[in-house]
């Protein structure tokens, strides 16, 4: 009954969101201009450019592939440099925010730990594009602004996850060390960090994959990464160039996803040790026979080289503007982010309340409400698409022996599953902001473009996670249904889905947080939401309003995070 109410509530919330967003069914069909753009754009997918489409550019000193290579290198370099800073923030924040670090905390240390956790949540609640706008407004356009814009939210995310991994890891070894007379420092690092290290490393690598996508998207606010080239080519109508950039981005993201998955697999599963001679159990022999992975070693060396090169090869982190001028810009920015009535009243913050009420009544409340429903409608649509797709993508249901029951050849099912898994990989590799940018050119300034952009990306993620849940679910009932002549769909709906339901819902809420976060920035593309107000305030140099809208977006993400954590906690309790 609870599951039925959950589905019913989701359906009602989805249609309520469409009503609030004023998403009309007629807007699903592009107008004549949109259909022409869509036709030209998708035809260009089969003819990606190998040279500039502009004849004047072809005779220039820089070749097309040289420009593409530079954009790719900048995208990877900014991601690596930003992750090096984020890792420092994540390690410090993760340790200080972990209960395992404070073995006997007093009231002050408890407050410090909670404060660190709240600070990590606050910085990760602001999207990297929002951080980029703030830094660009404060210190001007520079590579350093791009690096800081990614490092802060990613550092906050790493700090939160690292602290949770340290707290939830096996701590019996640490207790043994303490009982044996070891110090708290030794007990923490030898007993807690060592056991959690594979999980910590694998999550850091996952965030590196995400940083590649974020680095590309920063091009839409003026940073010369791959997104900047995509945006410029679209404005010039060079669709073939766009597809070359998109294919390059997809190859880059898929490569890092493959590489990260392989590293994570070896870290989690380990490497088999070599056999030693019978009877030779000396420490030296065991050390020589230990499992060693040249792939892991090469990966560490390449990462260290990439981070070092990323920092050293940039000779203009400040983009040619003196630090004195940047400090003056920063002083001006910090002065202008104070609400205008407060500045006019010589710092009287009693004027803040009326100003805040005025801004909220002039569109702030509507923008927050629309942003919430944009993210919610998109994740519900993605959830439905993924739920249907999981039935045809799960390997244990499409094989010739589903759930161990022999049924004969199923080549067409395996082909469909392969296409679905490949499509989900492409969908999750494409950043939502770039998808929305492209879809707005087809549908025009309608909210459907933003809903579809968020839904496509998240459906790809949920389809992959959902298929893994079904494949990893142990269900004797599903085998019985198939053995008695039932269909694969019957086994899925009648046995596998009920068992894996809670985990699927957990993943849905996990992605809902990200959808709310992304929805706060998609309005920068011109559709009314918080992002639209932020972009409008930036253009008008109303930095006080811009900071207000950014703060409201962060607050919305924070509330979404709390709601998601509460629901997941309840579901974990019911599961256990």
In the chain, where are the structural domains located?
A: 1-22+344-576, 78-220+251-270+296-320
- Residue count (the chain): 576
Give one DSSP letter per residue of 404-433, joined into a string: G------HHHHHHHHHHHHHHHHHHHS-HH
pLDDT of residue 150: 92
In percent, how much of the chain has pLDDT > 90?
23
Superfamily of domain covering 1-22+344-576: MetI-like (1.10.3720.10)
- Three-state SS string over 198-261 comes to HHHHHHHHHHHHHHHHHHHHHHHHCCCCHHHHHHHHHHCCCHHHHHHHHHHHHHHHHHHHHHHH
pLDDT tens series, the chain, 576 aa: 667 777 888 889 999 999 999 888 888 888 777 788 888 888 998 999 989 888 888 777 788 999 999 999 999 999 999 999 999 999 999 888 888 777 666 777 788 888 888 898 889 888 888 888 888 887 777 788 889 999 999 999 999 888 888 877 656 666 666 667 666 677 777 777 777 787 888 888 888 988 998 999 888 888 888 989 998 988 888 999 999 998 998 898 888 888 887 887 777 676 666 665 565 566 566 556 666 778 888 888 999 999 999 898 877 776 656 677 777 878 888 888 899 899 888 888 888 999 999 999 988 999 999 999 999 999 999 999 999 999 898 888 888 777 777 766 667 888 888 899 888 988 888 888 888 888 888 888 889 999 999 999 999 999 988 888 888 877 788 888 888 888 888 888 888 888 888 788 878 888 888 888 888 888 888 777 888 898 888 888 888 999 999 999 888 888 877 777 777 666 655 443
Give me the CATH code for the 78-220+251-270+296-320 domain, please. 1.10.3720.10
Closest by CA to 366, choosing from 533, 525, 515, is: 533
Query: Both tokens of residue 182?
Result: 């070891």
- Three-state SS string over 351-405 comes to HHHHHHHHHHHHHHHHHHHHHHHHHHHHHHHHHHHHHHHHHHHCHHHHCCCHHHC
What is the crossing angle of helices 32-43 and 239-269, to 10°? 60
Closest by CA to 147, choosing from 280, 373, 349, 316, is: 316
Q: Which residues, at least 6 apart from 472, have a Cβ–Cβ distance to it below 8 Å?
A: none
pLDDT tens column, 42-66: 899 899 998 988 888 877 778 899 9
- Residue 143 and residue 189 in contact, taking contact as beta carbons nearer than 8 Å: no
10 Å Cβ neighbour count for 236? 14
The number of angstroms, rounded, from the C-alpha of 505 to the middle of its chain's C-alpha atoms is: 18
pLDDT tens column, 476-527: 888 888 888 888 888 888 888 888 887 888 788 888 888 888 888 888 887 7
- Residue 371 and residue 556 in contact, taking contact as beta carbons nearer than 8 Å: yes
């Amino acid at each position: 009954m609870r599951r039925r109410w959950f589905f019913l509530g989701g359906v009602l919330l989805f249609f309520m969101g469409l009503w609030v967003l004023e998403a009309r069914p007629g807007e699903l069909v592009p107008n004549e201009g949109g259909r022409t753009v869509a036709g030209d754009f998708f035809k260009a997918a089969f003819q990606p450019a190998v040279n500039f489409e502009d004849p004047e550019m072809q005779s220039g000193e820089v070749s097309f592939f040289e420009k593409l290579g530079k954009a790719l290198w900048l995208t990877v370099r900014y991601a690596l440099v930003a992750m090096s800073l984020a890792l420092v923030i994540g390690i410090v924040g993760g340790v200080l925010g972990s209960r395992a670090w404070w073995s006997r905390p007093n009231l002050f240390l408890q407050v410090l730990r909670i404060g660190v956790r709240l600070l990590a949540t606050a910085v990760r609640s602001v999207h990297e594009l929002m951080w980029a706008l703030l830094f660009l407004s404060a210190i001007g356009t520079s590579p350093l602004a791009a690096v800081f814009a990614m490092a802060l939210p990613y550092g906050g995310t790493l700090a939160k996850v690292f602290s949770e991994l340290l707290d939830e890891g096996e701590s019996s070894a640490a207790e043994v060390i303490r009982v044996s007379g070891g110090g708290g420092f030794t007990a923490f690092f030898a007993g807690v960090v060592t056991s959690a290290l594979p999980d910590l490393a694998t999550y850091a690598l996952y965030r590196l994959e995400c940083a590649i996508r974020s680095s590309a998207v920063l091009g839409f606010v003026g940073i010369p990464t791959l997104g900047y080239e995509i945006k410029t080519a679209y404005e010039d109508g060079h669709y073939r160039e766009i597809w070359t950039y998109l294919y390059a981005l997809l190859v880059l993201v898929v490569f890092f996803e493959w590489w990260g998955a392989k590293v994570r697999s070896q870290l989690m599963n380990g490497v088999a040790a070599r056999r030693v001679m019978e009877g030779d159990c000396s420490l030296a022999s065991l050390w020589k026979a230990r499992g060693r992975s040249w792939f892991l070693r090469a990966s560490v060396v390449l990462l260290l080289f990439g981070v070092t090169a990323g920092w050293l090869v940039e000779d203009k982190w400040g983009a040619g503007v003196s630090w004195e001028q940047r400090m003056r810009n920063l002083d001006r920015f910090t002065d202008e982010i104070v609400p205008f009535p407060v500045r006019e009243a010589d710092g009287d913050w009693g004027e803040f309340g009326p100003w805040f009420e005025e801004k909220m009544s002039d569109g702030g409340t509507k923008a927050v409400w629309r942003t919430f429903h944009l993210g919610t409608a998109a994740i519900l649509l993605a959830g439905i698409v993924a739920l249907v797709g999981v039935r045809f993508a799960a390997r244990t249901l499409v094989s010739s022996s589903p759930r161990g029951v022999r049924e004969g050849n199923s080549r067409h099912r395996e082909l469909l599953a392969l296409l679905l898994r490949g499509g989900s990989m492409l969908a999750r590799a494409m950043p939502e902001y770039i998808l929305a940018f492209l879809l707005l050119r087809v549908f025009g300034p309608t909210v459907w473009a933003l809903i579809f952009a968020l839904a496509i990306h998240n459906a790809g993620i949920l389809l992959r996670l959902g298929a893994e849940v079904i494949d990893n679910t142990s269900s004797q009932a599903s085998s019985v249904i198939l053995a008695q002549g039932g269909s694969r769909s019957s086994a899925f709906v009648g046995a596998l889905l009920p068992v894996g339901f809670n985990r699927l819902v957990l993943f849905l809420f996990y992605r809902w947080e990200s959808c709310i976060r992304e929805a706060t920035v998609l309005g920068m593309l011109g559709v009314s939401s918080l992002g639209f107000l932020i972009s409008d305030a930036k253009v008008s140099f109303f930095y006080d309003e811009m900071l207000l809208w950014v703060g409201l977006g962060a607050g919305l993400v924070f509330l979404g995070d709390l709601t998601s954590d509460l629901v997941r906690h309840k579901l974990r309790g019911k599961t256990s």
